[in-house]
Structure 1
Amino acid sequence: MGTISPLKDIDEKRELVLPRRNSTYKHIFAYLIHTRKIDGDVVQEFVKNKQLYEDEKRNCVFVGYNNENEPKFANLRGTGRKQFRKDLWGSDKTYPFHREGTNDTLLIFESPIDLMSYMTLAKIYKIKDLNHHMISMGGTSYLPIEYYISQHPVIKKMILCLDNDQEGHFFSQQIQERFGERFQILKHLPTAKDFNEDLIVIHNRLNDYEKTEGMQL
């Protein structure tokens, strides 16, 4: 009896199926705006662009699309007390959660929350013309960088906004070695571990300052 060979024409790659939407957005709004301190207009921008929604389990769903506007990547982030995050089965990191820019600079982040936190910090510091392209790698991966720059040949500069930890430093060096001959590469490190931690610290300081000012009136 002969051995059975695997069929070479079977595509074993599973298709991405997005989780069903919840009937409300209140849990992700509470988590992102009140817990993570992200500006409400920033959150609404990604909701409007269908890059962010709430699923039936009350998770944040961050979505990346291909050129045909088909969802190809999804990252889930829990909104409860228990820390939960994962890439949905069938996700392709090639297609990042991103914000389209209008100039020649690409900002690179590890997570969607860091990207949105950076946008919020820009608003706090009254930076009006934040026209850079922005992507979240969904961790540390070359795939979304390679894809995004291939689709945006105008990009000449990269600013690495990765986590201020050993893994972030290591991958920053890897990006420098891989892309340094083709692009100008700069770093913008957060003061804490990441830009969301920076945002929370600054938000709390502003609140404390406002309370102190109010007591003096």
Structure 2
Amino acid sequence: MTEEQIAEAKRWDLLSYLQAYEPDELKKSGPREYRTRSHDSLVISNGKWHWCSRNMGGRTALDYLIKVRGQDFVSAVETLCGGGASPFLSQPVDLPPPKPFELPEPGRYATRVMGYLQGRGIDGGIISRCLQDGSLYESFRYHNCVFVGRDMEGKARFACLRGTFGDFKMDVPGSDKRFNFCLASPFPDCQKVAVFESAIDALSGATLTKLAGKAWEDACYLSLGGTSPLALVQFLKDRPGIRHVALCLDNDGAGKSGTEKLMETLRSDRELSGRIEMLREAAPPERYGKDYNQHLLGVIGEMKARRKEKSFER
């Protein structure tokens, strides 16, 4: 095959490919989101696709045909270039079983995790709460932050890693994104949840509430691990006492479209829409950045500047 054929094949995004060749495979799950009928956890949104249950994804239809449909590179390119290969597989593909979920080995101490998160402005008492309840720990091998999500029985079902230096971050293979990281309220009758894109943003939201002198423990702080509604829907169905939902996604294009998707998901669910008394957007002010951690660092910087001014005045 020629380089031109390969380039042509790479131009196909997955949504266009499925609309052209397999329209019955698509089902709409949000204003700008689709899923596939064969794999309900495979989400197509914003020009990308992500197969949540297998923790894999990509941008192109070529990636999809190779990773999901099991085609080799040559036949996948031929499919997309109209080279005679059928876009449908004549035989089902025996995909390898999903890798079993397993938490990374914990380290003996959490010194690097504590230092890293405090450097991001997060309150030490809030970090300690997470370390004590096991929703956060430091991995033994690479000293990563490990944010753990559990089901209602307390079983670990999800974990995401965040490097304590550099930009490393990933979900642990086999993670179930329905059970994402949550800083839970200690009060069983808690009625509020604030929803964020990441675990660090969730901890930042709790810290900002504490800095404002408010009772931060009166709410739960849930991470979605992105903008998918999976974790929020599961959280609300597991906790029927929740009545107030604040959507605290990033102040950018993805965050705004994700907020719209979440609102549509909740409003279209009869059980949840009838129960939720308050559903509101709570994006961080733009002057400090797009997300809650950037906003927290901006607030802390402003507080330090004020203290410095007062000390000079004395």
TM-score normalised per structure 2 = 0.63
The answer to whether 1:54 aligns with 2:138 is yes
Q: What does residue 24 of structure 1 align with?
A: 109
Q: What does residue 83 of structure 1 align with?
A: 167
Larger Rg, first or second structure (1 or 2):
2
| Counterpart among 122, 140, 143 of residue 227 in structure 2 | 140
User: Conserved in 2, the CA contact under 8 Å of 1:59 and 1:78?
Assistant: yes
The answer to whether 1:126 aligns with 2:223 is no
User: Conserved in 2, the CA contact under 8 Å of 1:122 and 1:130?
Assistant: no
Which structure has more RCO (C-alpha within 8 Å, separation ≥ 6)?
Answer: 1
Cα displacement (A) at 1:157 = 2.7
User: Conserved in 1, the CA contact under 8 Å of 2:150 and 2:157?
Assistant: yes
| Counterpart among 251, 257, 270 of residue 164 in structure 1 | 251
Q: What does residue 179 of structure 1 align with?
A: 266
Q: What does residue 153 of structure 1 align with?
A: 240
Q: What does residue 41 of structure 2 align with?
A: none
Equivalent-residue separation in structure 2 for 1:160 and 1:67 (angstroms): 22
User: Conserved in 2, the CA contact under 8 Å of 1:53 and 1:62?
Assistant: yes
Cα displacement (A) at 1:106 = 2.1
The answer to whether 1:94 aligns with 2:191 is no
User: Conserved in 1, the CA contact under 8 Å of 2:152 and 2:238?
Assistant: no
User: Conserved in 1, the CA contact under 8 Å of 2:159 and 2:175?
Assistant: yes
Structure 1 runs (4+) greater than 6 angstroms displaced: 4-7
Cα displacement (A) at 1:53 = 0.6
- Is 207-216 or 46-55 further displaced after alignment? 207-216
Q: What does residue 15 of structure 1 align with?
A: 100
Q: Which runs of 5+ in 2 are unaligned?
A: 1-90
- Is 179-188 or 36-45 further displaced after alignment? 179-188
Equivalent-residue separation in structure 2 for 1:167 and 1:12 (angstroms): 32
String of CA shifts for 1:32-66, please: whole Å, max 9, x gaps: 01x20100001001000100011121110000012
1:188/1:5 CA distance change after superposition, 3 Å: closer
Count of matched residue pairs: 210
Which structure has greater helix proportion?
2
Equivalent-residue separation in structure 2 for 1:77 and 1:97 (angstroms): 13
Which amino acid in the other structure matches residue 163 of structure 2?
Answer: G
Q: Which runs of 5+ in 1 are unaligned?
A: none
Cα displacement (A) at 1:87 = 0.5
